[in-house]
Amino acid sequence: MFRSFFVIDGIDGAGKSTQAALLTEALEARGLSVLRVRDPGGTGLSDRIRALLLAPEHPVSPATELCLYAAARAQLVHEKIRPALEAGHIVVSDRFTWSTHAYQGAGRGLDASHIARLEEIACAGIRPAHVFVLDLDPARRGARLGERGGEPDRLEREGDAFFGRVRRGFLDLAASRARESTVLDATRPAAELHAEILGKVLGILDGGRE
C-alpha cells in the first residue's frame, strides 16, 4: 500500500471526476507533484479498451467486461501508476478496483474470488491508501447525467435496478474495509465534499497512518 495513492469512486453521476480534479488542483497548489488518472484509461492502450467497453453499439458479456477492465487497469498500473508512486509522486485516480467489485461483482453477479484474482494480477500489489466513495441514490443519477450533456455510454444506459446493486456493492465493500475508506453523501455541495476529502488526504500524507 502506498500512502500517496488515493481513489475517488462511486456510481456514474456521483461527481467523481469533479472531486478528483479539485483534489489534484488543491494538492498541486501546495507544491506537491500529482498524477491524476482515470480507470479505465490513462494510457494509449487503456483508452482504446475504454472506448470499446463504453461504446453503446458493442454488446459485451459480463466475463468479457471483467477481463477488459482488468487489462486496461494492468496497463495503467504498469505504465503510469507504479512509476509515479515509486518516484514519490501522489496519484489521484477516478475509479480503481472497487468499481470492478461493485459493477462486475455486485452488479453483474460475477464471482468475487475471480475478481480478486484478476485484481491481484492487474495491480501486482498496488493498493490505494484510501478510497472515497461518493454515495448517490440511483434515482438521482439520471438528472445528474442529463446536466452533463452528451449521449449516455453503454454502462450509463443501465437501469436503476442495476445501479442499486452497484451502490450496495460499494457500501458493503466500504463497511468491510472501514479503515481504508470514507463514504460521502454525493448530494452535498461539491465544496464541502472537497474540503472533507482534502483534509483526510492531507492527514494521511502527513503520516496519520500507513
Which residue ranges make up each domain of the chain? Answer: 5-205
pLDDT digits (tens, 9 = 90+) for 78-102: 999 999 999 999 999 999 999 999 9
| pTM recorded for the entire structure | 0.93
- Is residue 147 scored above 70 in pLDDT? no
Whether pLDDT at 152 is above 90: no
Query: What mean pLDDT comes out for the span 47-57?
Result: 94
Pick the CATH number of 5-205 from 3.40.50.300, 3.40.50.150, 3.40.30.10, 3.30.2350.10: 3.40.50.300
d(CA 174, CA 171): 5
Contact 70, 116 (CB under 8 A): no
Mean pLDDT of 171-175: 98
Of 2-11, 31-40, 104-113, 150-159, give the lowest mean pLDDT range.
150-159
pLDDT digits (tens, 9 = 90+) for 17-44: 999 999 999 999 999 999 999 999 999 9
Looking at residue 209, what is its pLDDT?
43
Residue range 64-82, pLDDT digits in tens: 999 999 999 999 999 999 9
pLDDT beyond 50 at 188: yes
pLDDT interval class at 124 (50, 70, 90): very high
Residue 46 scores a pLDDT above 90 = yes
